[in-house]
Amino acid sequence: MPNEIDKSMEPGSIGAFFETALEAAPLSLESQSEAATNGVVVLDRSHLVRVAARGADRVAFLHNMLSADIKKLAAARGTEATFLTNKGKLVANLTVFDDGEQLLLETESNCVSSLVGALSRYIISEDVTLEQLAEESSFSVEGPGASKLLAAVADLSTDELVALPHLASLRAGEVRVTARRLDPSPRFDVAAPETSAIALLAAMREHGATFAGPELARTRRIEAGRPQFGIDMNETHLPLEASLHDAINFEKGCYIGQEYVVRLAHRGHLNRKLVGIRIDSKVPPLAGAKLTSGATEAGELTSSAYSPALGATVALGYVKKDFFEPGTELVVDGNLKATVSVLPFF
């Protein structure tokens, strides 16, 4: 099987279903946030795509390529990882799952081509193939009622879902459910062939689930302190600059770019770092808004959103080393008070 990626696949293949659901029951951001905090919401996650790594050498190969310990990955479990250039710069951030006879590499749709292309160049004699799972669709079910709703529409147990650890997965036939425990409230990501995914979504709609839009997804991403490739980081960033510490295993052997990661970690000297910024405003500033401290330029924002749960705007941005400390007061665009915050915000 060749290494391939379906460049014609459009992210958001279930987008039409979400558009219809949102048009049929439009809700304010505040109402959507309330449902995510105290009830359950369903969000389109079509921007997350998966690449299957198959072949007898898949574990050893990816262990040597990625910043995470792939050899110790347990069955039906996942781990955050990065793939770097030989200079330690980001090619992609991803989550790697052990899915039995294959490893699944989940990443953003806007960097999957770079990831597959760069990894493929290192496959010489290894028994490894890479193939994008173009037939899969994905969405998330979030909030305290998420496990109960999933159990009602899929062949899964509420108790099993509640007990599922972070980045662990359960299967119900061709449906795969993964727990993400670092979001503001319980979150389960669902991946399935498009027909099955739409059938599940239709069943959830019949059960009265709230369907939420991209504005809430952006708010919850920032609340969780999770940078997005192409927005908060790109190929010019080192993983520690982007606060991707959970994606780095400092005890494993060599991998691409390791020398630069280890050197920077041991030196303990970052010139810039992605931090949380809490802003006293209901109107989120635009990406690129400047951060200052007095007459000194401190950094700039990469993404921001209003958080109804916090009653303030939350943002991610890069600041210089003198402004890393949580509680540091800054000004956005010369007039908005802001404070460096610990991530995640909750």
pLDDT at 70: 98
Buried b (16+ CB within 10 A) or exposed e, 149-174: bbbebbebeeeebeebeebbbbebee
Q: Where are the domains of the chain?
A: 15-222, 271-346
Average pLDDT (45-68) is 97
pTM of the model: 0.93
pLDDT at 13: 66
Above 80 in pLDDT, residue 106? yes
How far CA 346 is from CA of 37, 304, 314, in Å, comes to 12, 16, 11
Average pLDDT (290-319) is 97
Class of domain 15-222: alpha beta
Query: How many CA within 13 A on the CB side of residue 249?
Result: 21
- Lookup result for tokens 């505040």: 30
What percentage of the chain exceeds 70 in pLDDT? 96
- State which amino acid sits at residue 286: L
| pLDDT, tens digit, 9 for 90 and up, residues 204-222 | 999 999 999 999 999 999 9
∠ Cα 332 338 340 (to 5°): 115
Average pLDDT (168-188) is 96
Above 90 in pLDDT, residue 11? no
Least confident of 27-41, 52-66, 129-143, 258-272: 258-272
Q: Which of the four pLDDT bands, split at 50, 70 and 90, describes residue 274?
A: very high
Average pLDDT (327-333) is 97
Burial class (CB in 10 A: 0-12, 13-18, 19+), 76: middle
CATH for the stretch 271-346: 2.40.30.110
Rounded Cα–Cα distance for residues 35 and 37 (Å): 5
Q: Do domains 15-222 and 271-346 have the same CATH topology?
A: no
Rounded Cα–Cα distance for residues 21 and 4 (Å): 34
What average pLDDT is seen over the chain? 94
- Lookup result for tokens 């792939």: 70
Q: Which of the four pLDDT bands, split at 50, 70 and 90, describes residue 318?
A: very high
